[in-house]
């Protein structure tokens, strides 16, 4: 890549313009860390630890089990789990078996999980032994191709005393009963051999995992990412980020071998948490704190603060709502957060005041970046030092990534520096494409000078120093606490209510989550309904962050000449209310 404008001003010292050597299987990062640091701790969960050697051994046994169950190279295997220590072992086990891992939001309701399992054609699924998660999975499996179900109980991953007391007091989560023919994870690991099949993987073209997203059109679809996509992103972040090993010391690359401890507060089913927490900590053989429920504690989020203090977390990668929760928590000052030395933020804009307050409390540095599920996810990062960081931007394009600003209407014309247009990205982390969605792929990519560029759906420009500034979104997507909500998904549920004639969903400003979901409803003639009635209707049909926080009934909704409900008009009305 020839030098670009972003290389000329505040490019971090020592960071190459290109990344090489990423053409290898993703699971090789676990094997390498286990070979170099076999006795180093990888996962921490309720005071129990697992070394890299132990995680590799279990991953190899999971692979052996899956092959024995008929999983072949390219088959999809779903993971329906929160952030528990089984997750990395299962994830790498699926890859070692030649499978493609499909991560599923553990908060999904039956219709959401069923769609995902059926759309990807999953052959097997791992689910937590839990009174809510397991029954949801059992119902969602109906009509899918899933033949193998493995149930994961956390008892064996707890210290012996805690496991004993938990069983005695009935505190360890467990489903009321299990279906005949379903496997228990502990039995699987005990009986399987730590032997993996010989695979011929092309890291550039073979899928490693599928993450579901609305993409740029709002229709749920699976972004398929290759082994090389993710390895390149891990190498990029490792090259880019500079932190102090302790507050006040000179910043340097994140040193491997257990020097650092990552806070696993972001969900690992999501691209942000999967790549930048679970996998990055494995890549540099660091410790990983498993946080299955960030809201745990009284008041909520207290257990996260306690984990930071107890395990001396040094690296925090999170969304703005988490940083806001830390600075606004009534007990923050009672916990020692001084171990934190480096923080990454993304998925939504981080308010300047939150940055100031968090950095004042922890003496660490927050650096913002930008990306999406389809980009592995990182394509821009701010320099990770106070001198070069630019608040208000999402940073510079990372090594190997080329970004162009294209005209919004056609995506064919490149716009000059400083002018707003649609952000398009090309390079090693750009996904293979959407799973079995040729039309969506055609709409989402443009070829420019022989290179394939992904249209992100975000509007922005380059400033005078080559920093990317995002100014708007082309799509109607709503971002709630860093998670994408697509209006069409919510509207489809609302339209299923027998009293709803028209529905429109928009994002409205919210001080805590960035945006909140608001639904506008036009009822069918002669019917009446309450806000509570519709909110209750939504409760069992979609994850909590997707559900409307507010519902407004109207006699009519604004429509175009062809009868399409105009979300844009409703959103503009809401923004005017806030400004008034």
Compute the distance between CA of residue 545 and CA of residue 406 in angstroms, rounded to an integer: 32
Among left, alpha and beta (phi > 0; psi -120 to 50; other), residue 400 is: left
State whether 57 and 196 are in the same domain. Answer: yes
In a domain, 297, yes or no: no
State whether 424 and 529 are in the same domain. Answer: no
> Domain residues for 169?
51-200
In a domain, 312, yes or no: no
Compute the distance between CA of residue 169 and CA of residue 155 in angstroms, rounded to an integer: 13
Q: At what angle do helices 487-495 and 531-539 cross, to 10 degrees?
A: 110
Among left, alpha and beta (phi > 0; psi -120 to 50; other), residue 74 is: left
CATH code where residue 455 lies: 2.30.38.10
At residue 540, the pLDDT reads: 86
In a domain, 137, yes or no: yes
State whether 436 and 573 are in the same domain. Answer: no
Question: How many structural domains are present in the chain?
Answer: 3
CATH code where residue 569 lies: 3.30.300.30
State whether 175 and 58 are in the same domain. Answer: yes
* DSSP bridge pairs for 242: 253
At residue 489, the pLDDT reads: 79
The Cα-based distances of 176 to 129, 138, 315, 456 in angstroms read 9, 13, 38, 44
C-alpha 518: how far from chain center: 23
State whether 63 and 195 are in the same domain. Answer: yes
State whether 89 and 163 are in the same domain. Answer: yes
pLDDT tens track for 183-193: 999 999 999 99
Cβ atoms of 490 and 112 closer than 8 Å: no
Which phi and psi angles does 199 have, rounded to 5°?
-120, 150
In a domain, 189, yes or no: yes
In a domain, 372, yes or no: no
The Cα-based distances of 528 to 91, 553, 565 in angstroms read 48, 10, 21
* SS3 of residue 213 by DSSP: strand
For CA atoms 318, 324, 330, 336, give the dihedral sign: positive
- The tens-digit pLDDT sequence of the chain (580 residues) is 677 999 999 999 999 999 999 999 999 999 999 999 999 999 999 999 999 999 999 999 999 999 999 999 999 999 999 999 999 999 999 999 999 999 999 989 999 999 999 999 999 999 999 999 999 999 999 999 999 999 999 999 998 767 665 665 567 889 999 999 999 999 999 999 999 999 999 999 999 999 998 644 456 799 999 999 999 999 999 999 999 877 667 889 999 999 999 999 999 999 999 999 999 999 999 999 999 999 899 998 999 999 999 999 999 999 887 888 898 888 999 999 999 999 999 887 787 888 888 999 888 989 999 999 999 999 999 999 888 999 989 999 999 999 999 998 888 899 999 999 999 999 999 999 999 999 999 999 999 999 999 999 898 999 999 999 998 776 777 888 888 787 877 887 898 899 988 888 999 988 888 899 999 998 988 899 999 999 999 998 999 999 999 999 999 888 754 456 788 789 888 888 877 6
pTM, full prediction:
0.85
Cβ atoms of 476 and 486 closer than 8 Å: yes
At residue 209, the pLDDT reads: 96
State whether 162 and 128 are in the same domain. Answer: yes
State whether 103 and 147 are in the same domain. Answer: yes
In a domain, 388, yes or no: no
Helical (H) or strand (E) element with 575: helix 567-579
State whether 521 and 569 are in the same domain. Answer: yes
State whether 542 and 567 are in the same domain. Answer: yes
C-alpha neighbours within 13 Å on the C-beta side of residue 437: 24
Domain boundary among 473, 499, 517: 473
Domain boundary among 172, 200, 228: 200
In a domain, 112, yes or no: yes
Give the tokens for residue 554.
Answer: 């109207």
In a domain, 328, yes or no: no
* SS3 of residue 354 by DSSP: helix
Cβ atoms of 160 and 130 closer than 8 Å: no
State whether 468 and 482 are in the same domain. Answer: no
CATH code where residue 152 lies: 3.40.50.980
State whether 559 and 440 are in the same domain. Answer: no
Domain boundary among 417, 444, 473: 473
Compute the distance between CA of residue 562 and CA of residue 564 in angstroms, rounded to an integer: 6
């Amino acid at each position: 890549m020839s030098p670009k404008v972003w290389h000329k001003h505040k490019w971090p010292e020592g960071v190459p313009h290109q990344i090489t050597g990423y053409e290898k299987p993703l699971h090789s990062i676990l094997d390498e860390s286990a070979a170099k640091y076999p006795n180093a701790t990888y996962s921490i969960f309720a005071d129990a630890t697992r070394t890299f050697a132990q995680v590799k051994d279990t991953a190899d046994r999971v692979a052996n089990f899956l092959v024995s169950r008929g999983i072949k190279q390219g088959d999809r295997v779903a993971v329906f789990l929160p952030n528990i220590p089984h997750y990395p072992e299962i994830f790498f086990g699926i890859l070692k078996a030649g499978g493609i891992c499909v991560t599923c939001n553990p908060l999904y309701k039956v219709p959401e999980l069923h769609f995902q399992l059926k759309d990807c054609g999953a052959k097997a699924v791992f689910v937590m032994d839990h009174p809510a998660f397991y029954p949801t999975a059992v119902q969602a499996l109906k009509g899918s191709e899933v033949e193998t179900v493995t149930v994961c109980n956390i008892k064996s991953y707890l210290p012996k005393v805690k496991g004993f007391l938990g069983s005695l007091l009935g505190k360890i989560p467990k489903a009321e009963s299990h279906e005949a023919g379903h496997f228990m994870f502990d039995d699987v690991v005990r009986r399987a051999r730590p032997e993996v099949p010989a695979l011929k993987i092309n890291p550039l073209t073979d899928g490693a995992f599928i993450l579901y997203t609305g993409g740029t059109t709002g229709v749920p679809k699976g972004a398929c990412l290759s082994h090389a996509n993710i390895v390149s992103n891990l190498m990029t972040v490792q090259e880019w980020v500079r932190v102090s090993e302790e507050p006040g010391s000179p910043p340097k690359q994140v040193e491997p071998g257990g020097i650092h401890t990552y806070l696993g507060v972001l969900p690992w089913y999501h691209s942000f948490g999967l790549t930048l927490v679970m996998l990055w900590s494995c890549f540099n053989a660091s410790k990983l704190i498993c946080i299955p429920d960030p809201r745990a504690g009284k008041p909520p989020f207290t257990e996260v603060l306690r984990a930071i203090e107890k395990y001396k977390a040094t690296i925090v990668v999170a969304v703005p709502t988490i940083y806001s929760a830390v600075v606004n928590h009534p007990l923050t000052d009672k916990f020692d957060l001084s171990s934190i030395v480096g923080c990454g933020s993304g998925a939504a804009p981080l308010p300047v005041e939150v940055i100031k307050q968090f950095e004042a409390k922890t003496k660490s540095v927050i650096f913002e970046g930008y990306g999406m599920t389809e980009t592995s996810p990182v394509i821009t990062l701010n320099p990770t030092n106070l001198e070069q960081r630019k608040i208000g931007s999402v940073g510079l394009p990372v090594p190997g990534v080329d970004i162009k600003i294209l005209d919004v209407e056609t995506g064919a014309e490149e716009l000059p520096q400083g002018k707003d247009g649609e952000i398009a990205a090309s390079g090693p982390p750009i996904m293979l494409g959407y799973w079995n969605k040729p039309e969506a792929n055609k709409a989402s990519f443009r070829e420019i000078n022989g290179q394939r560029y992904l249209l992100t759906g975000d509007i922005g420009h380059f400033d005078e120093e080559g920093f990317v500034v995002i100014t708007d979104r082309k799509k109607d997507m709503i971002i709630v606490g860093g998670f994408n909500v697509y209006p069409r998904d919510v509207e489809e549920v609302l339209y299923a209510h027998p009293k709803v004639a028209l529905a429109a969903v928009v994002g409205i400003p919210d001080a805590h989550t960035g945006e909140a979901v608001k639904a506008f409803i036009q009822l069918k003639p002669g019917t009446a309904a309450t806000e509570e009635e519709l909110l209750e209707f939504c409760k069992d049909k979609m994850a909590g962050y997707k559900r409307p926080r507010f519902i407004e009934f109207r006699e009519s909704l604004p429509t175009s000449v062809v009868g399409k409900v105009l979300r844009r008009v409703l959103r503009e009305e809401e923004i005017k209310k806030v400004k008034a």
